[in-house]
Amino acid sequence: MIELRNFVKNIKPYKPGKAIEDIAREQGLTGEILKLASNENPLGPPPTAVAALKKSLNKLNIYPDDNCFHLKHRLSTKYKIPINQIIIGNGSVELIELIFKAYVNPGDEVIMSEPSFIMYKIACQIFGGKMVSIPLVDFKHNIEKITQAINTKTKIIIIDNPINPTGTIITKEQFDQFIKKIPDHVILVIDEAYNEYIEDEFYPKAPNYLLKHSNLIALHTFSKIYGLAGLRIGYGFSSPDIITALMKVRLPFNVNRAGQAAASAALDDKDFVKKSIANNEEGKKFFYKELKKLGLEYVPTYGNFIMVEFSKEAMEIFNLAQKRGVILRTIYEYGLSHHLRITIGTPQQNERVIRVLKEII
């Protein structure tokens, strides 16, 4: 066997996820399967995005615009941030890796919460960074401990706001204090995949802090509220210097043509975003009410998902729900053995989840 790169040797072998059809076949499931496991938008892709994509179909033989000019231009207008402070990725997950690829030397310290998105850890491992994990407190980031962990070797702090899978946020007040304490040699990455769902004035949207903080990176995505997870479009805002560095290490033509066309159109679809927020708010209220009736603990959420605690082992609940055609998300990899994460669906889907939970808890 050919020797692997040192930092890759300890990475665990990859377990491919299963397609819904495979699960159905293996489990002998009949009837309509409901998967509320990946925090996708239950309203589907935006109709305007689908229409824009259709117009681009006759050009699929042509390489995509390597600089994503049109999409960057649309983001620039919407966020009032110059084009040289924007980067587009093959999902924001690619941008996470680019940050490590551009900046992390072996031994550099990377501070993250524990539990944290698995990709933060993998990217850190691939480039030989030293992970410094700070446990959540009450399912929230422990800002104080994170700040205390900063030293001269710290290169990156990467946290999500809101947190997946707990759904909690750092408030504006907390963030204002926190960001002041980040030294110049440290990059602060705020992963805001779910930001568009949050209309709460206490939520600090990271792009608003760019003007004063050149070492900040804000990550957003078209996979959640914009309903385009299948096309893989994430984007990031930062200072011109950091964006230049990330552009250096990205692959050419990393963002496909269909995705660029659809995302540009989705950004203009205010109606779709409004409907998605309304559906999510309605779903949250429904779940809060019904989970309470069932005597189940949950964490109030700022995302399009809700984390629920069970008295039984999570895998047992997962299996029982799956047998009834409802696929939820275990979160063992986040160190949580008695919780499931449920994506908020349409009213009809949410009702089905509650019906199934009633049967099995």
Phi-psi region of 134 (alpha: psi -120 to 50; beta: other; left: phi over 0): beta
Q: Which is nearer to a copy of itself, 15 or 270 (CB)?
A: 15
Angle of CA points 120, 109, 164, to nearest 5°:
25
Q: How far is the CB of 189 from a copy of itself (least distance, A)?
A: 12
Query: With binding defined as CB under 8 A, does residue 80 bind a copy of itself?
Result: no
Task: Kindly state the number of chain residues that form the binding site for a copy of itself, as judged by CB under 8 A.
Answer: 84
227 vs 325 by CB, closer to a copy of itself: 227
Q: Which residues in the 202-231 window bind a copy of itself by CB under 8 A? A: 215, 223, 227-231
Task: Give CA separation, 187 vs 146, 311, 322, in Å.
Answer: 13, 40, 41
Q: Which DSSP helix (H) or strand (E) runs through 155?
A: strand 154-160
- Identity of the residue, 68 or 169, whose beta carbon is nearer to a copy of itself in the bound complex: 68
Q: Does 23 bind a copy of itself (CB under 8 A)?
A: no
Two structure tokens written together for 197? 């769902």
Task: Name the 3-class secondary structure at 44.
Answer: coil
Select the span of 182-190, 203-211, 312-320, 352-360 touching a copy of itself (CB under 8 A). 182-190
What is the Cα–Cα distance from 234 to 218, expressed in whole angstroms?
A: 11
Footprint on residues 101-130 left by a copy of itself (CB under 8 A): 101-105, 119, 126-127
Does the footprint of a copy of itself cover residue 137 (CB under 8 A)? no
Report the distance separating Cα 325 and Cα 27, nearest Å.
9
* DSSP H helix total and E strand total for the chain: 12, 13
* 53 counts as binding a copy of itself under rule CB under 8 A: yes
Closest listed residue to residue 62, CA positions, set 259, 264, 256: 256
Residue 210 CB, nearest distance to a copy of itself (Å)? 15
The one among 26, 28, 32, 62 contacting a copy of itself by CB under 8 A: 62
Q: Are 348 and 333 in contact (CB under 8 A)?
A: no
DSSP code of residue 6 = G
Encoded one letter per residue, x for contact with a copy of itself by CB under 8 A and - for no contact, window 269-308 reads: ----------------------------------------
Within 10 angstroms of residue 148's Cβ, the number of other Cβ atoms is 12
CB-based contacts of 197, cutoff 8 Å, min separation 6 = 224, 225, 276, 277, 280, 302, 303, 304
Select from 60, 137, 278, 315 the one that contacts a copy of itself (CB under 8 A): 60
Considering only residues 24, 34, 36, 45, which one is a binding residue for a copy of itself as defined by CB under 8 A? 45
Member of 244, 282, 288, 361 binding a copy of itself (CB under 8 A): 244
Per CB under 8 A, does 259 bind a copy of itself?
yes
